[in-house]
A and B are shown apart, each in its own frame.
Chain A
Amino acid sequence: MNATPAVEAIDLVKHFGETRAVDGVSFVVPQGSVLGLLGPNGAGKTTLVRMLTTLSVPTSGTGRVAGFDVVAQPTEVRRSLGLTGQAATVDEILTGRENLKLIGSLYGLPKKYVREATERLFARFDLTDAADRMAKTYSGGMRRRLDLAVSLLAAPPILFLDEPTTGLDPQSRSGLWAVLRELVSEGTTLVLTTQYLEEADQLADEIVVVDKGRVIAAGTPTQLKDRAGRASVVVTLTHAADVDEAAELMRSCCQEVHVERGSRRLTAQAGGLGDMTRIAAVFETSGIALDDLGLARPSLDDVFLHLTGHRAEDASTPTNEGVVP
């Protein structure tokens, strides 16, 4: 397949005076895939999204969306994308329904389509009961969902989401993840920024880690995790009394066996699933009772620590939505 990439960033740069908000970022997002832009506060994620969605003009470099240049062909770019910015951009004085009517009319969409799409989107985002209330009476999560509904009104093939779940409770977050997966399954390309490592892991096919305006790592979630160290096998015994015997047994077949003092857990370095099945077989024949046996991969938190030397959360208290940068 040699289809045009959905999104391309080629050496994008944006300076605000002395601040190098984005300092030479490149990546390619194939059609139908999900790119996660991961980075702490001030990394330049929002600035990147703003450049790619024509809200901000790059200092240098090239951005293309659906094959169109963001500087030279902004109107074509805008026709191809949907955007949910970091701060909700709904009109608080209008009702939910009026917000969609407003945007539908600015896209020049047929009225009938807007009416039907509104019903469909409100049902999907659980806003039907609130459709005729002013958006200022909405909770933060409802505003986010309304914002997303607005972004989806024209059924854009490419959707940009800037920290879509910041400020949502865990339940709303996983609800939103489900909706995003559904969109992807329908063929939508997603570019989403997040400070939540778990979110990138859950949704993204490719992750680009940015810090201080530069790309510090890129790859699939698995590749990034592999870079932070190898996986390990974690064994949890049923009886603490078996620890010594179990440790002996594991040393016979694995490297770097650790016993967590005072617990019933042992870990050993593992190359992959093969090691795990081997250990499982050994315990099977020995008759030592196990509560659990599993493969633990380093989390993206570990990856971040490994790449930047600081934890992602160190630099950031997640910003509340609605806060203007």
Chain B
Amino acid sequence: MTTVQATRAPAARPPISPPSLLRASSTIVWRNLLHIRRMPEMLLDVTVQSVMFVLLFAYVFGGAIVVPGADYKEFLLPGIMVQTMVFSSAIVAMGLTSDLQKGIVDRFKSLPIARSAVLVGRSISSLIHSSIGVAVMALTGLLIGWRIRNGVLEGVLAFLLLLLFGFALIWLGIWVGSMMRTVEAVQGFMFTVMFPLTFVANTFAPPESMPSWLRAIAEWNPVSAVTQACRELWGNGPVAPPEAAWPLQNPVLVSIGWSIVLTAIFAPLAVSAFRRRSRD
């Protein structure tokens, strides 16, 4: 079949060369980061809020929480960093829903680019967003006495684990963001999930002091494995007591395992929900 030759001179049409997935995604990342630059208050959730958490827990509850064999502030920092990373899933979900709601995704969909560029771009900018939070946490920690006490390699590995875990949870965010219709709904839902997920864990207090059923949940919580891994890699706390559940005995491997499992569960759900949303 012949195709339409525009009636006007072909020279009037500029050359369209659809960008690769990578280029399209990085353009979308540029756009999302521009949003953060224009509205720095978007970072409040991972900066001021997290600093507040550090200060509250370190100075208000810290005295009341006893961690055998560790300084509480040292113990706390890895937990709060993991919490910050977990919040990337809420950030990606809210960003995606907002773009869907405002029709920006429709605009992107009408362009000759891979549709996944929207998701890839969102994911990367959310990871950057949370990483800014983790960096702020690290600086705050350094000010109040937190230190990386082991080698550089272990130190870097812990940060990579944080990123990997954040990446896995981003799929949860994309899934939720594709299914919900308003940013408010996403926010309500995600925070209802995020708070128990990050508190029923070893993030702020050792699980040993919890009732046994809650302790079991806390010890199997993926958040605990990642936190424990960071603590051990940074030298910020004791290894798990011998009676702790096995995820805490092998935290680094288990963190990697959890990240793979969560990705395997949520990535297909997320992609199919986004596809379904994209068909209407």
Contacts and interface: CB of A to CB of B under 8 A. Distances in A.
B18 to A, nearest CB: 5
A187 B6 CA distance: 7
A78 interface: yes
B104 A89 contact: yes
A103 B16 CA distance: 11
A4 B1 CA distance: 8
B3 A66 contact: yes
A91 interface: yes
B192 interface: no
Contacts of A110: 14-15
A154 B16 contact: yes
Interface string B5-20: 0111000111111110
A94 B38 CA distance: 8
Interface in A210-262: none
A87 B31 CA distance: 20
Given A67-B1, A110-B15, A78 B111 contact: yes
Interface string B38-79: 110000000000000000000000000000000000000000
A58 to B, nearest CB: 10
B243 interface: no
Interface stretch (A49-57, A195-203, A301-309, A310-318): A49-57
A4 B280 contact: no
Given A75-B112, A89-B103, A157 B15 contact: no
Nearest to B9: A187
B212 interface: no
Nearest to A109: B14
A55 B107 CA distance: 9
Interface in B60-118: 101-104, 106-113
B35 interface: yes
A157 B5 CA distance: 8
B143 interface: no
B24 interface: yes
Interface string A94-112: 1000100011011111100
A199 to B, nearest CB: 22
Nearest to B117: A106
A53 B16 CA distance: 17
B103 A107 contact: no
B35 A107 contact: no
A62 to B, nearest CB: 13
A108 B19 contact: yes
Range, interface on chain A: 35 or more
B27 interface: yes
A78 B109 CA distance: 9
Contacts of A92: 102
A102 B32 CA distance: 11
A117 to B, nearest CB: 7
B106 to A, nearest CB: 6
B12 A155 contact: yes
B4 A53 contact: no
A281 interface: no
Contacts of B38: 93, 134
Interface string A15-57: 0100000000000000110000000000000000000011111
Contacts of A98: 31, 34
A278 interface: no
A89 B102 contact: yes
A55 B109 contact: yes
B4 A107 contact: no
A87 B107 contact: no
A87 B6 CA distance: 27
Contact of B106 (A55, A68, A155, A157): A55
Contacts of A67: 1-4
A31 B30 CA distance: 37
A278 B30 CA distance: 70
Contact of A88 (B17, B19, B103): B103
Contacts of A57: 279
A127 interface: no
B8 A186 contact: yes
A109 B19 CA distance: 9
B1 A94 contact: no
A79 interface: yes
Contact of A87 (B18, B27, B35, B103): B103
A80 interface: yes
A83 interface: yes
Q: 7 nearest interchain CB pairs? A: A187-B7, A157-B6, A108-B17, A89-B107, A66-B4, A89-B103, A187-B8
Interface of B: 1-4, 6-8, 12-19, 23-24, 27-28, 30-31, 34-35, 38-39, 101-104, 106-113, 279-280
Given A55-B110, A102-B30, 5 more contacts: A32-B7, A83-B107, A109-B14, A113-B14, A187-B8
27 contacts: A16-B280, A31-B4, A32-B7, A53-B110, A75-B18, A75-B112, A78-B110, A80-B4, A85-B103, A88-B103, A89-B106, A91-B104, A92-B102, A93-B34, A93-B39, A106-B24, A107-B16, A109-B16, A117-B14, A150-B107, A154-B13, A155-B12, A155-B13, A155-B14, A157-B13, A158-B4, A187-B8
